[in-house]
Amino acid sequence: MKLRLLFFAAFLSLASCSSDDSTDPVNGNPVDKNLKEIARYNDGEDQISELRKFTDNKMTERYIYNEGEAYFSDLYTYNEQGLLISRTASIEDQTAVTEITYDELGKIIAIDVTSSFSGNPYSVDHSTVDYTEEGVIKVTMINVQGSDTTVSKYNYYLDAQGRVYKIASVNSNEELNYLCEAVYNGNNVVTYYSNMDSETGTYLNSSIYTYDNETVVKGDFLKVAYNQFGDNKANHVLFKQTGIVVISENYLIANEAVSFGQENSGTVTYEFDNDGFPVKQTAFVDGEADPVSEYLITYE
């Protein structure tokens, strides 16, 4: 079960960079639909496992459930420009508040995370972002817990379109440890690598993604991550910090993955409403009858 969920956590961690409107067949006017909710169900079960709520196509609330009861919550706040400026994550007595600072161009320049237990802060992370070097974003993260301070450094490498395609951690000797790498075809991530073996210099995990290049994408179902950060193509990766969000402008339909020598593959199917907007996404592990996950999408 754990391997199935880990496989599809990467499989369905999707965003997009474009969408189209449909057209009203009666009067020819474009049909525009805003996301209302996305509900996830795991392993063919009837009880909800995750619920995301939206306003103006931006995620404002997220809840994770266990046996039908919400035990984890995420609350998101945006500024007047529509950029995410704060996130409050809560589980029982623990809370983590993330605050994001941007420059005048809408690029993230600082991320602060304060973690508390029963209202008492016990950990503070302060990340500063440096854009000085062409093609590389450098992040320094300082974590303070009581009298202990830890400094971590990361490099985010950009392609010509400003997208992050590789992330490396940087040790105290300025040596690099590559964490992950993405290969793009157009605006789709087609291959994703992670967990590099430091001895061999090869990645232990890989995923190959296949997309439906025929079906016109309508609405913002594939744009959830990008919609939080405006036009900047690196912000959503900086927010995630140590992983690249697998993005696409087309619907994902298949994935082949290798994780520490174990091979997995799966397929994804979709259902659409009369206007061509997706209302259901179902993911299967090859060889298994029950879906590993289902997403039900509703609109305002």
The phi and psi torsions of 185 (rounded to 5 degrees) equal -125, 105
In terms of C-beta distances under 8 Å and separation of at least 24 residues, what long-range contacts does 260-268 make, across chains too?
260/195, 260/204, 260/205, 261/204, 262/3, 264/3, 264/7, 266/7, 266/8, 266/11, 266/292, 268/11, 268/12
pLDDT tens figures, 97-130: 999 999 999 999 999 999 999 999 999 999 999 9
Average pLDDT in the 81-93 region? 97
Task: Supply φ then ψ for residue 240, to 5 degrees.
Answer: -70, -30
Say whether pLDDT at 18 is over 50: no
Q: Tell me: the pLDDT tens digits for 52-77?
A: 999 999 999 999 999 999 999 999 99
Render pLDDT for 234-271 as a digit per residue (tens, 0 to 9): 999 999 887 888 889 999 999 999 998 899 999 999 99
d(CA 19, CA 161): 18
Query: What Rg value do the Cα atoms of the chain yield, rounded?
Result: 20
pLDDT score, position 240: 87
Identify which has the larger pLDDT, 88 or 240: 88
